[in-house]
Amino acid sequence: MPAHRQKKFRQINKFLEMLRDVEEYIPDNSVIIDMGCGKSYLTFAIYHYFNILNNKNIEIRGYDLKKDVVDYCNSLADKFGFNDLKFYCEDIADIENKDERISMIITLHACDTATDYAIYHGIRWGCKVMMNVPCCQHELFSQIKNDKMDIMLEHGIIKERFSALMTDAIRARLIELMGYDVKVMEFIDMEHTPKNIMIRSVKTDKKPDEHKKAELEALIKEYELNPTLYKLLYGNK
């Protein structure tokens, strides 16, 4: 197997491993949505895991911007007789879905703020589980400012990583404020991909902690940030 395929293969196996810890929250006859599914190796693997290996009846929908890739994935699903696996060409930001059976949304390396839109949909649709492995967290890089933190913002490479970590820390806090138990974990060893943070969230009936919200808003103000997920959930500051 070529090296890049081996990397993707490991990522998919790890994703499935992490999915097993929360699979109790994915009821039979529910729907899973993979946003930014690309060539959909993960989407097919999850379909196979639930519907073929575990005899469950889970409908899976993949969304991506690339029409040729979406068409190809649909033709493969047809060829294998995977009737409950469908792909759609649509921008994640525009997905509207009134299906109450959606139990989980996933993203694996959906670019930049596409991850925020996916998380936003998951929250507003009341999804029980969200599994998100972000990538290309560019948004805050161009916003971030803080005179007291020059030491972290002076060098491009450090500023880039600091902004990316800040992006995911803010996402994790926002998801928690929406009533989810959130775990931020190493997804896979750095040697396989540097995009290696998994944010795994399970819905609870916890009420938002106002102190944690104030802490987040103080941080956003201090660093002069305007993160997409915050705007989607609370409107403009």
Ligand X SMILES: C[S@@+](CC[C@H](N)C(=O)[O-])C[C@H]1O[C@@H](n2cnc3c(N)ncnc32)[C@H](O)[C@@H]1O
Q: Which of 19, 58, 110, 119 binds ligand X (CB under 6 A)?
A: 110
- Is residue 14 involved in binding ligand X (CB under 6 A)? no
Contact 28, 201 (CB under 8 A): no
Name the residue type at position 170.
Answer: I
CA 216 to mean position of chain CA atoms: 20
Judged by CB under 6 A, the chain residues 77 through 106 that form the site for ligand X are 91-93
- Is residue 9 involved in binding ligand X (CB under 6 A)? no
- Is residue 36 involved in binding ligand X (CB under 6 A)? yes
Give the count of alpha carbons within 13 A of 33, CB side only: 30
Token representation of residue 214: 């104030």
Q: Which of 31, 58, 60, 64 binds ligand X (CB under 6 A)?
A: 64
Edge-to-edge strand ranges of the sheet holding 197-203 = 85-89, 59-64, 31-35, 102-111, 129-135, 197-203, 180-186
CB of 217 to ligand X, least distance (A): 27
- Is residue 62 involved in binding ligand X (CB under 6 A)? no
CB of 146 to ligand X, least distance (A): 29
- Is residue 70 involved in binding ligand X (CB under 6 A)? no
Alpha-helix residue ranges (DSSP H) falling in the chain: 3-20, 41-47, 67-80, 114-124, 150-153, 156-177, 210-222, 228-234
CB of 200 to ligand X, least distance (A): 16
Q: Which residue has the tokens 């068409």?
A: 71
Q: 58 in helix, strand or coil?
A: coil
CB of 12 to ligand X, least distance (A): 8
CB of 195 to ligand X, least distance (A): 8
CB of 11 or CB of 163, closer to ligand X:
11
How far is Cα 210 from Cα 135, in angstroms, rounded to an integer? Answer: 29
Q: Which residue has the tokens 């989980």?
A: 104
Name the one range near ligand X by CB under 6 A: 17-25, 107-115, 137-145, 159-167. Answer: 107-115
What residues make contact with ligand X under the rule CB under 6 A? 36-39, 41-42, 63-66, 91-93, 108-111, 114
